[in-house]
């Protein structure tokens, strides 16, 4: 099927050629790295602020409130004001804390989530990394974050932090299994681990529609398990406010606290982006089979809009879960994972393998 969509790789290639003409090859690579780094950091900060605003509004409306509405029109400058306040706060040194690890922990958390974000395809040809093992890479780097959480909890020299970090460790390690198995279902469907290949395989329909019920089941499992993996409510017992004040980041203040906060929200964006890419077609417009006319109309909406629209839809689903359900206990969380999600997931994976073997899905 011919796709009349703009390919961003032409733009990136043109920039690359321009830089190679002006600079030495090493200089060109260095400049590109700096440009990409700045772009990603800017995107990271802006999206983080937008997500915090969105979260406060969604949470408020679900609790029959209005939410921030005083700073700027509809309160849109509220999060920027909060950020300025947070940046000006004092960094409080903790007595008898492990200074080095204490200062290192927020950076590990944030590096993990930026590395995972690099693999997201925002539009055709618009991604920083396009490995042939993209999904595997994302699974691997998203596990780095839990090291930061454990270090933060351990080095803070605080009971609350340590308990929060331990809970987080148990939770993240067990839910990674479900996330991996849920992603595996689409890997079986599309026959590739590369994100661009997975998106291209959805040109005639998204996997959630093409894959019948099993794909829907693995989408739901992915949303639930990744909510648990990013330590968000109702699985937020790593920072259970009512029990542990703030869990692993109790002792952090100022910009270091902001890093944890930002990383939490951006992790939500990243898992939503992966869910959108893998199950909902990523930047691929909504296509139905070979209906050329309908597909042509859908192509007029730019891929970036499709990607962010789908991602924010999944973000909304995750927020909906958080603001509806009360927090689970640690034993309930582990029961949910090992007694329900993993068996369902395994059976589902076998079912999908069988469906693919028999060719029963829409091709």
Partner 1 sequence: MSAFTQYFTGVFRSLLNLWRGLMVTGKYFIGPKYIVTQQYPENRATLKMAERFKGEVIMVHDENNFHRCNACGICEINCPNGTIEIISDKIMNEEGKQERIIDKHIYHLSMCTFCGLCVKNCPSNALAFSQEFEHAVFDRRKLTKILNRPGSRIKREPRVPKEKTGDPVISPPAK
Output the six-digit token pair for 155. Answer: 């080095």
In the block, which residue shows the tokens 């590369």? 194
Is residue 325 part of the contact set for partner 1 (CB under 8 A)? yes
Q: Which of residues 334-363 bind partner 1 (CB under 8 A)?
A: 340
Positive or negative, the CA dihedral 52, 54, 264, 332 is positive
Which one of 10, 313, 320, 362 is in contact with partner 1 (CB under 8 A)? 320
Name which position in 58, 76, 86, 170 contacts partner 1 (CB under 8 A): 58
Question: Smaller CB distance to partner 1: residue 258 or 314?
Answer: 314
CA proximity to 278, closest of 205, 195, 181, 356: 195
Rank residues 64 and 242 by Cβ distance to partner 1 and give the closer one.
Answer: 64
Note whether 331 binds partner 1 by CB under 8 A.
Answer: no
Q: 264-293: which residues touch partner 1 (CB under 8 A)?
A: none
**Which segment (86-94, 138-146, 206-214, 317-325) binds partner 1 by CB under 8 A?**
317-325
First to last CA, the chain: 12
Among the listed residues 26, 64, 242, 290, the single contact to partner 1 using CB under 8 A: 64
Answer yes or no whether residue 213 interacts with partner 1 by CB under 8 A. no
Is residue 248 a contact partner of residue 152, using CB atoms and an 8 Å limit?
A: yes
Alpha helices, DSSP H, located in the chain:
8-22, 25-62, 78-87, 99-117, 134-142, 144-155, 159-190, 195-200, 207-210, 212-229, 241-244, 254-279, 292-299, 303-324, 330-335, 342-358
Token couple for 115? 């590395």
Among 324, 329, 338, 346, which residue sits at the site for partner 1 (rule: CB under 8 A)?
A: 324
| Selected range binding partner 1 among 60-68, 76-84, 165-173, 260-268, rule: CB under 8 A | 60-68
Q: Which residues bind partner 1 (CB under 8 A)?
A: 58, 61-66, 69, 320-321, 323-325, 340
């Amino acid at each position: 099927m011919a796709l009349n969509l703009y390919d961003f790789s032409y733009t990136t290639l043109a920039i690359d050629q321009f830089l190679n003409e002006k600079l030495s090859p090493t200089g060109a690579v260095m400049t590109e790295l700096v440009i990409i780094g700045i772009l990603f950091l800017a995107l990271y900060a802006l999206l983080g602020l937008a997500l915090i605003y969105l979260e406060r509004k969604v949470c408020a409306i679900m609790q029959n409130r209005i939410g921030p509405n005083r700073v700027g029109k509809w309160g849109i400058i509220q999060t920027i004001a909060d950020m300025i306040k947070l940046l000006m706060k004092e960094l409080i040194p903790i007595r008898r804390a492990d200074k080095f690890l204490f200062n290192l922990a927020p950076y590990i958390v944030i590096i993990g989530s930026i590395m995972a974000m690099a693999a997201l395809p925002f539009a055709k040809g618009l991604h920083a990394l396009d490995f042939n093992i993209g999904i595997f890479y994302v699974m691997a780097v998203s596990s780095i974050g839990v090291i930061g959480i454990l270090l933060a909890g351990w080095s803070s020299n605080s009971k609350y932090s340590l308990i929060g970090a331990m809970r987080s460790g148990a939770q993240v390690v067990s839910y990674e299994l479900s996330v991996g198995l849920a992603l595996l279902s689409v890997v079986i469907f599309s026959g590739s681990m590369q994100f661009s290949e997975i998106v291209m395989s959805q040109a005639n329909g998204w996997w959630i529609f093409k894959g019948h019920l099993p794909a829907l089941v693995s989408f739901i499992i992915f949303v639930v398990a990744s909510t648990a993996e990013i330590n968000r409510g109702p699985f937020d017992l790593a920072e259970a406010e009512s029990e542990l004040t703030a869990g692993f980041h109790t002792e952090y203040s100022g910009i270091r606290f902001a890093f944890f906060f930002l990383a939490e929200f951006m992790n939500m964006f990243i898992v939503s982006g992966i869910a959108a890419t893998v199950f909902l077609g990523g930047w691929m417009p909504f296509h139905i089979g070979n209906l050329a006319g309908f597909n042509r109309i859908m192509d007029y909406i730019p891929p970036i809009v499709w990607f962010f629209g789908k991602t924010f839809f999944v973000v909304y689903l995750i927020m909906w879960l958080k603001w509806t359900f009360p927090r689970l206990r640690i034993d309930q969380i582990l029961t949910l994972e090992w007694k329900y999600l993993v068996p369902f997931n395994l059976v589902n994976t076998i079912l999908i393998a069988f469906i693919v073997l028999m060719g029963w899905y829409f091709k």
